[in-house]
A and B are shown apart, each in its own frame.
Chain A
Amino acid sequence: MSRRLIIQTAGPGMSVQDMGRPGYLAYGLSRGGAADRQAMAEGAALLHQDQGLAALEMAGMGGSFEVSHDTRIALTGAPMRASIDGAAVAWNASHMLAAGSRLGIGGATRGVYGYLHLGGGIDTTDRLGARSAHLAAGIGGLVAAGTDLPLGEDGDEDGAGGATGLTLPEDTRFDGGELRVVPGFQTGFFAEDEIIRFEATLFTRAARGNRMGVRLDPDGAGFASDAGLSVLSEIIVPGDIQITGDGTPFVLLAECQTTGGYPRIGSVLPCDLPRVAQAAPGARLRFRLVTPEEGTAIERAAAALRKGLRRAVRPLLRDPHDIRDLLSYQLIGGVTAGHDEGS
């Protein structure tokens, strides 16, 4: 029997994601894929497997899961409370999930998108070169409770497959912060003093946001362009910062539309997009303009770091405090089970 992930309960924003399907812009389909691509790279490093393998993206809230066969898992992205059979397990780490054990993943304590990676990846049907759901386009859909997903063969890519109990240092991208921006063909629609004010302004991630993009409310007035409302619709890419009619920026993410008529003040660098996606409502963000040359250098450095993630993986050290917790969980669990049997 093929290996499967069984979804017992599911939060409202759970979908299968990979690195998306580039190449369909001419047909009006944006790339899509994981909202936080850095998390995909981290999951791949923890499991020593290809980052193109599909994982489960969980917006804000996880769910509860079982596997049909013993399966390696990794948890990345927005930290969420996770446990296996009631015992807390570390986030940003890999674990062995035994067949029949129950993996529980709660709400995000920081950030927005958490990821459950599985050894061999989720092996749903490839559509247009990817397995990721594109919710805006109606390709695939949300993962619902009571369904299960096929898993791929957990290969031993470089002799290190099979290892679990590994961790990566936690990143700072879940708490807002600075977003580096390169200018684009419409930056000139904005007067120099508006751009200076844009860089000096603190923004709050608004409640409105999804895989298509997030709205950022400025402290103070919105931003005016000289373009008026007559801008012809042009190609849009993830990262573009649209200034909407009321002067509020809207940063586009993986599942954005492919053309748009609002003027764009610039584009967030690809390596800073996970920080946008992971900013929870209320998170504070600011923008800093860099030249395209600086942007390329920053992006190159980020790519090198991503490539080095496998070397940054460390064994998960058990804190004695955690072990005490673990024992108490099991003790309580045992008592409860006995009580249930007797009642």
Chain B
Amino acid sequence: MTDDSRRAQTDAFPRIGRVGLDGMLVSFGDTLSEPANRAALAFRAALDHASPAGVEESATSLVSTFLRFDALRIDFDALRAEIGVLLNSRDWYAADLPGGRTLWRIPTVYGTDLAPQLAEAAEAAGLSAQAAADRIAATRVRVQTIGFAPGQPYLGELPKEWDIPRQTDLTDRVPIGALTVAIRQLVLFSVSTPTGWRHIGQTAFRPFRPESDAPFVLRPGDEVLFEAVDRETHERLRGAGPDGGAVSEAIR
């Protein structure tokens, strides 16, 4: 974190704002940082535990906790005062991550024709393709948020060399399970869609399973290792179900 972002956090954040008529946003920063992301996750857990009257749903974005309330029953200012008490009860930037999180190891093919932009992304990061794949495979990343598409995780934070921009032109379509990179983050695609993120790896993991009783697999705060496998292993795992060979364990 730079001195500037630290100052911004202490001066202006956390900040409570409004989203539409029935949404409240508690923001812990206006740029992505590990402490702000951790604060948002920890505050949401505390909020869910406190379960204030009239709050119907909560969620987190990269650096904020969101809550939806019954605007016809609960006055925004009264709720803000109640949330403010919880917010001021401690330093959320120093809070531990909530409990009940999971570590996932997801087999990933780096590069090849399955993930054709590894070399291009590595070059933007100033690395060889092999070094780039090795470093990403060795980095344990956190699910910073789930969003844009159902079950789709944004993961980070990657080392500084991965502060590479998104492409200006969109890739026509990446498949489900595509591992993509930009701006020190990874996105593991839950839908097949056009994207500006560079496609560096391919997994056989389906983050969203609409036909299942448990359609959402990853949760904000979970951690992931994208472990390298060869193409033959990947093809075999693809036939082994929606986990694609991924294994999980509780984070103690």
Residues on A facing B (Cβ under 8 Å): 22-29, 127-128, 136-139, 182-185, 232-235, 237-240, 257-260, 267, 269-270, 292, 295-296, 299-300, 303
Given contacts A137-B149, A138-B191, contact A185 B19 (CB under 8 A): yes
Residues of A within 8 A of B68 (CB): 22, 25, 237
B147–A232 CB distance below 8 A:
no
21 contacts between A and B (CB under 8 A): A22-B56, A23-B57, A24-B150, A25-B66, A26-B57, A28-B147, A136-B149, A182-B18, A184-B18, A184-B19, A185-B17, A185-B19, A185-B27, A232-B62, A233-B148, A235-B59, A235-B61, A237-B23, A239-B21, A240-B20, A267-B20
Question: Could you say which of A183, A234, A292 contacts B61, with CB atoms under 8 Å apart?
Answer: A234
Q: Which chain B residues numbered 10 to 58 have a C-beta less than 8 Å away from chain A?
A: 17-23, 25, 27, 30-32, 44, 56-58
Contact with A along B125-167 (1 / 0, CB 8 A): 0000000000000000000011111111000000000000000
Q: Does B117 sit at the interface, judged by CB under 8 A?
A: no
B215 within 8 A of A: yes
Given A27-B216, A185-B27, A296-B71, answer yes or no on A257-B19 (Cβ-Cβ < 8 Å).
Answer: no
Q: Among A234, A260, A300, which residue has its beta carbon within 8 angstroms of that of B25?
A: A234
Partner of A232, one of B30, B76, B190: B30
Interface size class of B (residues with CB under 8 A): 35 or more
User: In the complex the two chains form, what is the Cα distance from A130 to B22 in whole Å?
Assistant: 21
Beta-carbon contact of B190 and A28 below 8 Å: yes
Q: Tell me if A235 and B66 are in contact (CB < 8 A).
A: yes
Contact A26 B60, CB 8 Å, known A137-B150, A185-B19: yes
Return the 7 tightest CB-CB contacts between A and B, nearest first: A185-B17, A259-B147, A267-B20, A26-B59, A27-B216, A25-B59, A29-B150
Supply 11 further A-B pairs (C-beta < 8 A) apart from A28-B146, A137-B150, A137-B210. Answer: A28-B148, A28-B216, A185-B18, A232-B32, A234-B64, A235-B66, A237-B19, A237-B23, A239-B20, A259-B148, A292-B76
A304's nearest neighbour on chain B, judged by CB, is B72
List of A residues within 8 angstroms of B107 by Cβ: none
Residues of chain A within 8 A (CB-CB) of B23 are: 235, 237
User: Measured between C-beta atoms, what is the minimum distance from A311 to chain B in Å?
Assistant: 20
A296 to B62 Cα, complex, angstroms: 29
Contacts of B177 in A (CB 8 A): none
Shortest CB distance A246–B (Å)? 15
Q: Give how many A-B residue pairs fall within 8 Å (CB-CB).
A: 124
A22 and B57 CA atoms in complex are apart in Å by: 8
A257 touching B149, Cβ below 8 Å: yes
Assembly CA distance A237 to B147 (angstroms): 12
Complex CA–CA separation, A267 to B23 (angstroms): 11
Chain B residues, Cβ within 8 Å of A28: 146-152, 190, 208, 216
Q: Is B220 interfacial (CB-CB < 8 Å)?
A: yes
Establish whether residues A270 and B208, one from each chain, have CB atoms under 8 Å apart when the complex forms: no
Check A27–B31 contact: CB distance below 8 A: no
Say whether A233 contacts B62, CB under 8 Å: yes
Could you tell me if A235 and B19 are in contact, using CB atoms closer than 8 angstroms? yes
Q: Is the CB of A139 within 8 A of B64?
A: no
Chain A residues near B60 (CB-CB < 8 A)? 26
Decide if B59 touches A183 in the complex (CB within 8 Å).
Answer: no
> Could you say which residues of chain B place their CB within 8 Å of the CB of A296?
21, 71-72
User: What's the minimum C-beta distance from B184 to chain A, rounded to whole angstroms?
Assistant: 13
Quick check: A27 and B150 within 8 Å, CB to CB?
A: yes
Contacts of B179 in A (CB 8 A): none
Q: How far is the CA of A278 from the CA of B213 in the complex (A)?
A: 34
Residues on the A chain within 8 Å of B146, using CB: 26-28
Q: Given the known A-B contacts A22-B56, A185-B27, A259-B145, are A237 and B150 also in contact in the complex, defined by CB atoms under 8 Å?
A: no
- Check B17 against A127 for contact (C-beta < 8 Å): no
List the B side residues contacting A239 at CB < 8 Å: 20-21
Given contacts A26-B59, A299-B71, contact A269 B66 (CB under 8 A): no
Cα(A128)–Cα(B22), bound, Å: 22
Q: Interface centre among B27, B44, B148, by most A CB within 10 Å?
A: B148
Which of A25, A136, A137, A292 is most buried by chain B, counting CB atoms within 10 A of its CB? Answer: A25
Mask, B65-78, CB within 8 Å of A = 1, is: 01010011000100
Q: Which residues of A contact B76 (CB under 8 A)?
A: 292
Min C-beta distance of B9 to chain A, whole Å: 13
Closest to B27 in A: A185
Indicate whether B63 reaches chain A with its CB closer than 8 angstroms: yes
Q: A127 vs B215: C-alpha distance in the bound complex, in angstroms?
A: 10
When C-beta atoms are compared, the residue in chain A nearest to B16 turns out to be: A185
CB <8 Å contact, A185 and B210? no
**Which single residue of chain A is at the shortest CB-CB distance from B66?**
A235
C-alpha spacing A259/B215, complex, angstroms: 19
